[in-house]
A = this chain, B = another copy of it.
Amino acid sequence: MLKLIGLGLNVYGITLEGLIEARSSDKVYVELYTSIIPGLTLDILKGVIGKELNLLKRRDLEDGYERIIEEAGRCDIALLTPGDPLIATTHMSLVIEAYKRGIPVKVVNSASIISAISSATGLHIYNFGRIVTLTKVRGGALPLTVYEVVEDNLSRGLHTLILLDLDVEEGYWVSIGEAVEILEIMEARMGRSVFGSDRLVVGVARVGSTDFIVKADRLSKIKYYDFGGPPHSLVVPGRLHFMEVEALLCLAEAPRDLLRKS
C-alpha cells in the first residue's frame, strides 16, 4: 500500500490518523521541497513521528519513483508531504501509477493554505475565485496568467489567492514585496489598471504557524512591510461583505479609511 500523508502547516500539523498510519508503515519517506513548514527539520520530524524517516529529493520522486512504487507493491510505504497531499500536483502521477498497478492508495488529509486562508483573513471561502501561483520571473518572461486570473476574478467581485512560488532545493522563494513589484511591472506592461496603487491587498506569511502575519494595506504600501520568512501568499479581495470588512479590520489591521471606500 502507498499512503500519502499530509504534514499540515506546522511542526505539529499532522493529524492523529496521519501519525497512526505513518507509525504502522514498514517504511516512511518524507519530501520537504514542495513547501516550507516553518521550523520543521528532518530531525524534529523524526521526533514527532517517532520513527526513522527517509528524505526524498525532487529527483527521487520525479524521475525515480519506480523504486517507491515497487516497494509499495510489497509492503506499506508512507510518503509524508507538507500541507494537504496532492495540492501540489507533483505527487498525482505517483498515485495514478500505483492505481494502474493495482496497488492500494490511501490519502491522509491535513490542513492546507487553500482552506486556512479563510480563517487567517476572515474572507469567506465562497467569495474566492480561481487560485493562482505566481512563479519567479525567469529570463524576463512575466507570469501574465496571474494578472489575467486576478482581472477575471475582480470583474465578478471575487477574491484571488495568489500563492507565491518557492523551491526549497533551488533555494528561492517569492516574497510579498517581490510579488507586488512583479504585479506592478505587469500592470505597466499590460497598459491596464486592474490593480492601481490604491488597491487593497492582504499579505499573508506562514499561515498556521505561531508567528504568522496577516496584514491588509494598499498595494503601494504593502511592499514596505516586513513579513519575515516564507511561505508568503497574497490575497486580492474583490467585493467585500460587511462581515469580511470587520474581519479585515480585526485580523489584518486593515486601514479604516481604505475599507470605507470599498
Q: Identify the A interface with B (CB < 8 A).
A: 4, 6, 8-17, 19-20, 48, 83-87, 89, 92-93, 95-96, 99-100, 107, 109-112, 114-116, 118-120, 122, 124-133, 152, 156, 158, 207-208, 243, 246-247, 250-251
Name 27 A/B residue pairs within 8 A (Cβ), A-sorted: A8-B110, A14-B16, A15-B16, A16-B19, A16-B48, A84-B115, A84-B116, A84-B119, A85-B119, A87-B115, A87-B125, A89-B124, A95-B122, A95-B250, A96-B122, A96-B243, A96-B247, A107-B116, A109-B111, A109-B208, A114-B125, A115-B115, A126-B130, A126-B133, A127-B130, A129-B129, A130-B156
CB distance from A105 to the nearest CB of B (A): 8
The copy count of this chain in the complex is 2
Residues of B within 8 A of A8 (CB): 15, 17, 109-110
Q: Are A92 and B122 in contact (CB under 8 A)?
A: yes
Beta-carbon contact of A243 and B111 below 8 Å: no
Query: Are B109 and A247 neighbours in the complex by a CB distance under 8 Å?
Result: no
